[in-house]
Amino acid sequence: MHLSRAFFEQDTVTVAKALLGQHLVRREPDGTLSQGRIVETEAYCGYRDKACHSYKGKSDRTKAMFGPSGHAYIYLIYGMYHCFNVTSGPPGEPEAVLIRALEPLDGLPQMESRRGMNKLRQLCSGPGKLCIAMDIHKAHYGTDLLAGGDLYLAAAPPPAEITASKRINIGYAEEAVDFLWRFSVAGSSFVSVKP
DNA sequence: ATGCAGATCGTCT
DNA sequence: GACGATCTGCATC
């Protein structure tokens, strides 16, 4: 079961909440699957959000957010880590949801190997960590996450309760630092930072 | 448990 | 030329 394009064309805050509980799946060249349950997200809302990379307009780096929803927006942060986002919002709105943490479900040996450790709760507890664990990188830039390729999203039951909090490390974003646009599965021990 | 320095480079001014 | 939507290891309490 996969998610519909209309799902991602909803308001980005709605999508950020609705992605909690859904599964992110990585199919390796040899057919092996790594999979995790999304437990933490952040909404980045384009022209109304000073923390959003697209706030100042389109560029080579941010062009994915200006394209159709339900595709991968990936960027390099601090010169060494990647962050994975899902483009979202109505057509024409350059918005996205940052996937911040996963609860590992399948492919544990591969995740542990790529992360160089075997502590379950820390394998995917951060945007940079989950990209390493799932082997997500620039080659996935712009990938259609509904196409059933080597990186896709699969429908799963939503969590019983959602917690909202302030987004992490956007201190430069003036009034936007206070927006409650970070969402997590209530009580999950797999989040990056306790809300 | 909390805090801080260092790593490292593409993107934008 | 400056700066991150980060992570890790080491220091200190």
A162-187 pLDDT tens trace: 999 999 999 999 999 999 999 999 99
Long-range pairs for A124-129: beta carbons < 8 A, 24 or more residues apart: A124/A36, A124/A190, A125/A101, A125/A190, A125/A191, A125/A192, A126/A100, A126/A101, A126/A192, A127/A77, A127/A81, A127/A83, A127/A84, A127/A98, A127/A99, A127/A100, A127/A101, A127/A192, A128/A77, A128/A80, A128/A81, A128/A82, A128/A83, A129/A192
Among protein residues, the one whose C-alpha sits closest to the C1' atom of B12 is A59
CA–C1' A193–C12 (A): 22
Confidence check: pLDDT of A1 > 80: no
Note the pLDDT of residue A60.
Answer: 97
Within 7 Å of a protein beta carbon, the nucleotides of strand B are 7-13
- CA A82 to C1' B8, whole Å: 13
Span A125-145, average pLDDT: 98
- Tell me the CA–C1' distance in angstroms for A76 and B9: 9
Q: What pLDDT is stored for residue A123 in this prediction? A: 98
Residue–nucleotide distance: A189 CA to C9 C1' (Å): 23
Residue A2 has pLDDT above 90, yes or no: no
